[in-house]
């Protein structure tokens, strides 16, 4: 065989053989690592995403939605009562620059949004609508509205129990309100829950908030410019991300306050143009959404199928109840914890009710999603030819096809959006992971630098490797955060109610006035 190669194919082909063998060995090694990792962590992934008996509804989604419903009722529909005040706070009407903290209300909001507004808004919504039909949009919006109360609860606690240091920096988040809040109420296990939460946060930051983002960004870029080694994308991302995160939350906030509005406006503007062009179909689209929500026409599982897909998308998109956003919001400049809880109400609204709904409307109106009369399932129909049923791998394709009905060049816009979404998610999750890291190992510039370097190294790994099992595990860790966090929120919500009643009574009496700039 070797003789044939050297004489028949020539020296060039022979010299390429070791490289081919090396590449095959690398692929084989990746697969073996993936299999070993999946074998050792699969039980944890299956536990977190296990479906309720007799359904395909993950119990973790029910855990999040029930908590959001409880907080909504307990706080008297705070997402409605305080919505206008939230906008005033973001505008800076009540902001005193001399208050403790590192970032403004607006910067805290955009930092937290940058961690949630991402690929799920593009691909995840498409999967929800593709499997659950247009009716899934209704349940997605409802879950997003309920999730606003979860964000209010956790972000209020994040500010109330944060650590404020002499140099002006702060550290906050669930691990701090678990220890301090539980101690204040005389409850046990606060320190244990904080440690478990911190471990889950670091795992989620390195995986779902890092490697997955780098991996998907490389896939989208290479799909436009052609295939090339993933480590190149990884190195570029790592350098840019490190340049931002090395400056801490102030540097991160200065970037997110520019990137998040830009990427949000870019995406929503593209959707609005299509909706304006197809304005005569908007009424019909909402009719499909409401009809599908309660009848489940064309959906496997009917009404329940639409509900499940809508709730799953909202829970996976805005992360309400996960506790991650409380870490970002804790850095805000304020002496009133309730103000940041109120500001955080806007996060699920923007992420789920606005951006996700825009995606769903464009898909519904575009006509690229049709029901197969033979199976009753929705299929992606492009240029009159049904090409596939919808699954987790076809979400970006469905969204791209829907927007392409209005813009043939939309795949390029989508590539920009994916890169921006991935970048903003990485810098936000670096901060979440960092605060969990410093909670476990202690504060200090050197300790922080070590984590930031580790985080950037994993960007390169994520862009270059096929790490399916690692991503599944890290996603499971993100939602395992919600198990610990919501348990703590149930225990501490009376403290939030006390803060809420005090704040709004003082606001109503005129004791709290707008800050004169």
Query: What is the pLDDT, as a whole number, of residue 370?
Result: 63
164 to 147, 176, 214, 335, 511: CA distances (angstroms)? 28, 12, 33, 11, 25
pLDDT band at 254 (very low <50, low <70, confident <90, very high): confident
Q: Region 460-464: what's the mean pLDDT?
A: 85
pLDDT band at 490 (very low <50, low <70, confident <90, very high): very high
Position 37 scores a pLDDT of 59
> Is the model's pLDDT at 13 over the cut of 60?
no
pLDDT of residue 201: 94
Instruction: Look over the chain and give the mean of its residue pLDDT values, rounded to a whole number.
Output: 81
Q: Tokens for 499? A: 């803060």
Cα(340)–Cα(153) distance, rounded to whole angstroms?
10
Phi, psi of 247 (to 5 degrees): -85, 0
Residue 384: DSSP 8-state: T
- Give tens-digit pLDDT for 131-186: 777 888 888 889 889 999 999 999 999 999 998 888 778 889 999 999 999 999 99
DSSP 345: T
* pLDDT of 470 over the 60 cut: yes
SS3 of residue 158 by DSSP = helix
Name the β-bridge partners of 475.
none
Least confident of 56-60, 255-259, 313-317, 493-497: 313-317
Query: What's the average model confidence in pLDDT over 467-478?
Result: 75
- Give the orientation angle of helix 125-132 with respect to helix 136-160, to 10 degrees: 140
pLDDT attached to residue 338: 94
> What pLDDT, on the 0 to 100 scale, is given for residue 2?
39
Which of the four pLDDT bands, split at 50, 70 and 90, describes residue 20? Answer: very low
- What's the distance, CA 187 to chain centroid? 31
**Helix spans in 301-409 (H):** 302-318, 324-329, 337-344, 346-348, 357-366, 395-404
Contact in structure between 346 and 332 (CB atoms under 8 Å)? no
- How are beta strands 378-382 and 385-389 bridged, if at all? antiparallel
- Bigger pLDDT: 325 or 299? 325
pLDDT in tens, 68-122: 999 999 999 999 999 999 999 988 887 777 777 788 888 888 888 877 776 667 7
Domains along the chain with CATH numbers: 58-499 (1.20.1740)
CA dihedral 416, 420, 426, 431 (to 10 degrees): 170
- Cβ-count burial of 131 within 10 angstroms (0-12 exposed, 13-18 middle, 19+ buried)? buried
pLDDT band at 483, cuts 50/70/90? very high
Cβ pair 333, 96 in contact under 8 A: yes
Each residue of 398-446: pLDDT tens digit? 777 788 777 777 777 777 877 888 888 888 899 999 999 999 998 888 9
In whole angstroms, give the CA distance from residue 475 to residue 87: 32
313 vs 16: CA distance, rounded Å: 46
CB burial of 363-401 (b: ≥16 within 10 Å; e: otherwise) equals bbbbebbeeeeeeeebbbbbeeeeeeebeeebbbbbbbb
What is the H or E stretch that residue 386 is in? strand 385-389
| Confidence at residue 14, expressed as pLDDT on a 0 to 100 scale | 47
247 or 224: which carries more pLDDT confidence?
247
Q: Which residues share a beta bridge with 381? A: 386
Q: State the Cα–Cα distance between residues 378 and 451, nearest whole angstrom.
A: 45
Residues 6+ apart with CB under 8 A from 135: 288, 289, 290, 291, 292, 293, 294, 295, 296, 297, 299, 303, 306, 310
Handedness of CA 447, 452, 457, 458 (dihedral sign): positive
Residue 464 has pLDDT above 50, yes or no: yes
Q: 3-state secondary structure string, 45-100?
A: HHHHCCECCCCCCEHHHHHHHHHHHHHHHHCCCHHHHCHHHHHHHHHCCCCCCCCC
pTM of this structure: 0.84
């Amino acid at each position: 065989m070797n003789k044939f190669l050297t004489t028949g194919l020539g020296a060039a082909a022979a010299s390429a053989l070791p490289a081919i063998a090396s590449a095959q060995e690398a692929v084989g090694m990746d697969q073996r690592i993936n299999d070993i990792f999946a074998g050792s962590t699969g039980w944890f992934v299956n536990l977190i995403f296990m479906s309720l008996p007799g359904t395909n509804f993950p119990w973790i989604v029910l855990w999040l939605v029930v908590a959001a419903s409880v907080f909504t009722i307990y706080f008297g529909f705070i997402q409605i009562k305080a919505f206008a005040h939230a906008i005033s706070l973001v505008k800076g009407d009540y902001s005193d620059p001399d208050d403790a903290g590192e970032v403004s209300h607006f910067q805290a909001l955009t930092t937290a949004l940058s961690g949630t507004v991402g690929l799920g808004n593009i691909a995840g919504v498409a999967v929800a609508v593709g499997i659950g039909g247009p009716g899934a949009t209704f349940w997605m919006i409802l879950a997003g509205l309920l999730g606003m109360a979860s964000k209010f609860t956790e972000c209020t606690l994040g500010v109330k129990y944060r650590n404020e240091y002499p140099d002006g920096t702060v550290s906050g988040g669930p691990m701090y309100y678990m220890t301090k809040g539980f101690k204040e109420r005389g409850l046990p296990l606060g320190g244990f829950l904080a440690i478990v939460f911190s471990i889950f946060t670091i795992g989620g930051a390195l995986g779902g908030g890092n490697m997955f983002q780098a991996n998907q960004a490389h896939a989208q870029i290479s799909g436009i410019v052609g295939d090339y080694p993933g480590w190149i994308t990884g190195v570029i991302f790592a350098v840019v991300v490190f340049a931002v995160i090395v400056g801490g939350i102030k540097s991160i906030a200065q970037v997110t306050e520019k990137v998040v509005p830009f990427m949000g406006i870019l995406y929503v503007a593209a959707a609005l143009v299509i909706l304006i062009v197809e304005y005569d179909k908007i009424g019909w689209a909402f009719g499909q959404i409401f009809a599908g929500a309660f009848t489940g026409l064309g959906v496997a599982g009917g009404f329940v199928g639409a509900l499940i897909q809508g709730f799953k998308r909202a829970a996976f998109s805005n992360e309400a109840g996960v506790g991650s956003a409380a870490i970002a919001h804790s850095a805000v400049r304020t002496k009133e914890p309730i103000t940041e809880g109120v500001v955080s109400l806007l996060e699920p609204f923007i992420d789920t009710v606005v951006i996700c709904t825009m995606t769903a409307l464009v898909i519904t109106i575009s006509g690229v999603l049709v029901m197969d009369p033979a199976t009753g399932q929705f299929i992606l129909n492009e240029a009159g030819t049904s090409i596939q049923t919808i699954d987790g791998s076809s979400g970006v394709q469905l969204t791209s096809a829907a927007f392409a009905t209005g813009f043939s060049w939309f795949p390029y816009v989508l590539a920009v959006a994916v890169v921006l979404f991935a970048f903003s998610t990485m810098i936000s999750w670096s901060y979440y992971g960092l605060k969990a890291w410093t909670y476990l190992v202690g504060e200090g510039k050197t300790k922080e630098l070590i984590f930031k370097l580790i985080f950037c190294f994993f960007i390169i790994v994520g862009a270059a490797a096929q790490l399916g099992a690692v991503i599944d595990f890290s996603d499971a860790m993100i939602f395992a955060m919600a198990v610990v966090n919501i348990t703590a929120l149930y225990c501490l919500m009376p403290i939030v109610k006390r803060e809420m009643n005090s704040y709004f009574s003082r606001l109503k009496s005129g004791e709290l006035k707008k800050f004169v700039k």
